[in-house]
Amino acid sequence: MEFSQHRKYTFHLLGLAHLPVSETFMGCAFTQKIVKLSKMLLSLGHDVILYGSEGSDAPCTEFVQTHTLADIREAWGEGDNRVECNGLGYQWREKGFKHDFNTSKTNTTKKYYQACIDGIMKRYEQDQFLLVMQGVYQKPISDAVKLYLTCEPGIGYRGSFADFRAFESAYLRNFTYGSQNPGKSINGNWYDRVIPNYFDDKDFTFREQKKDYFLFVGRIIQRKGLDIARKAVEAIGGTLKIAGQGEPWFDSPYCEFIGYIEPEQRDRLMGEAAAVFVPTLYLEAFGGVNVEAQLCGTPVITTDFGVFPETVINGVTGFRCNTLQDFVTAARNVHMLDTHIIRKHAERYLMDNVKWEFQKWFNDLYQLYLSSTDSNIKGWHFYE
């Protein structure tokens, strides 16, 4: 068996138990990653078998329905069947998405697990890839089908387990290694990768001219740093537009709450903002909002830990801050940054660029797989 850099692979791509895999629900980070990963794999000529609920419409070679919208409503619905609920049975735009990630698994999730297992085994070939998108939450599927090429291609969470893992940031890879091996001096894993989150160019419009408001986009929770954004904007007498799922716990004449926004509205608000605040208090694995803003040519104002030292060039594409004074100074000076440079920096994260990093990783993994089938085939030692 000869290895080819241009080989066509087959991927079993795991969708979600709690949501259809659809651009309708792009406010869910997992949904975004699955939809766009499938697009990238298809553009590279691969076959993608997508497993998910009724209502999924992400592009794929073959779709395997694992459960229905009625199953989702049974597990998480509140009896609200208005059209704006999109079949989920609750007002997800206001309340956020419901799931059982950290609780006992619902019958719906168990049904989803079994349907994925049955679907994969029906199509099983030993050289196929299994793409696990939610870590240990989807481990029961991985344990049952036992594909050698089981990968976690978009780790932005704690609880990864696969032999082959791609992390969204170097920070998260190192955090994971340290957390799983506390106090130890360990070696790295050649077949793990850092492959950043990825974005569709069609969703973001570069705008050179900015307006005088600031923007916050994210879950309306304390740990996303909304209080910091509010205080900084109040200090300079500015305006902060707040978009996201949830409700603010304060009332300020300097703040305007917008609520959940669809992609088109997000594009306009980000593109016209003077800057986008992403002052997350916890160690952010990627914080995609910061790259989305930069793709619009809009500077970001962030904290100085987690992923942001990797994605934000301090004083060039935004400001990384440590004190309230830093945030206030940043808000006063964002107009000095070059929007063209900001946009150029962010293009590194476009799907058409990131997909080649995935292709290289899958090629390396497939060569390793071949070496496991024949002692005469080299794996890590292979070269041309």
**Would you state the structure tokens that stand for residue 276, as one six-digit string?**
């986008």
Q: How confident is the model at residue 224 (pLDDT cuts 50, 70, 90)?
A: very high
Position 248 scores a pLDDT of 86
Burial class of residue 227 in the structure, from the number of CB atoms within 10 Å of its CB (0-12 exposed, 13-18 middle, 19+ buried): middle
Asked if pLDDT for residue 5 goes beyond 60, the answer is no
265-293 tens-digit pLDDT: 999 999 999 999 999 999 999 999 999 99
Residues 213 and 310 in one domain: yes
Position 249 scores a pLDDT of 87
194-208 tens-digit pLDDT: 999 999 999 999 999
Asked if pLDDT for residue 51 goes beyond 80, the answer is yes
Residue 1 within a domain: no
Q: How confident is the model at residue 2 (pLDDT cuts 50, 70, 90)?
A: very low
For all residues of the chain together, what is the average pLDDT?
96
Radius of gyration (Cα) for the chain, nearest Å?
22
Residue 382 within a domain: no
Q: What is the rounded distance in angstroms from the CA atom of residue 369 to the CA atom of residue 126?
A: 10
352-365 tens-digit pLDDT: 999 999 999 999 99
Quote the crossing angle between the two packed helices 288-295 and 263-272, to the nearest 10°: 70
Residue 5 within a domain: no
Asked if pLDDT for residue 1 goes beyond 50, the answer is no
Centre a 10 Å sphere on the Cβ of residue 179 and count the other Cβ atoms it contains: 9
Spatial contact of 261 and 233, defined as CB atoms under 8 Å apart: no
Give the C-alpha distances (Å, rounded to integers) separating 15 from 12, 110, 122, 233, 264: 10, 14, 17, 40, 24
Residues 343 and 355 in one domain: no
Asked if pLDDT for residue 246 goes beyond 90, the answer is no
Q: Is 350 left (phi over 0), alpha (psi -120 to 50) or beta?
A: beta
User: Residue range 71-95: average pLDDT?
Assistant: 95
> On the CB side of 106, how many CA atoms lie within 13 Å of its CA?
17
**Would you state the structure tokens that stand for residue 357, as one six-digit string?**
């990093």
Q: What is the rounded distance in angstroms from the CA atom of residue 331 to the CA atom of residue 327?
A: 6
- CATH number of the domain to which 152 belongs: 3.40.50.2000
Position 247 scores a pLDDT of 85
DSSP H or E run through 268: helix 263-272
pTM of the model: 0.94
144-155 tens-digit pLDDT: 999 999 999 999
Position 95 scores a pLDDT of 87
Handedness of CA 284, 288, 289, 290 (dihedral sign): positive
Burial class of residue 336 in the structure, from the number of CB atoms within 10 Å of its CB (0-12 exposed, 13-18 middle, 19+ buried): exposed
- Strand duo 193-194 + 255-259: pairing: unpaired
Per cent of the chain over pLDDT 90 is 94
Residues 100 and 194 in one domain: yes
- State residue 118 phi and psi, 5-degree precision: -60, -40
Residues 213 and 247 in one domain: yes
Handedness of CA 119, 122, 124, 128 (dihedral sign): negative
94-122 tens-digit pLDDT: 888 999 999 999 999 999 999 999 999 99
User: Residue range 22-49: average pLDDT?
Assistant: 96
Position 7 scores a pLDDT of 84
Residues 79 and 132 in one domain: yes
Residues 189 and 240 in one domain: no
Q: How confident is the model at residue 32 (pLDDT cuts 50, 70, 90)?
A: very high
Which domain, by its residues, includes 167?
10-198+351-373
- State residue 379 phi and psi, 5-degree precision: -105, -95
Sheet holding 164-167, edge to edge: 62-67, 47-53, 10-14, 129-131, 149-155, 164-167, 193-194
Residue 138 within a domain: yes
Position 3 scores a pLDDT of 44
User: Residue range 287-301: average pLDDT?
Assistant: 97
Transcribe 157-177 into DSSP letters: SS----SEEEES-HHHHHHHH
Residues 175 and 261 in one domain: no
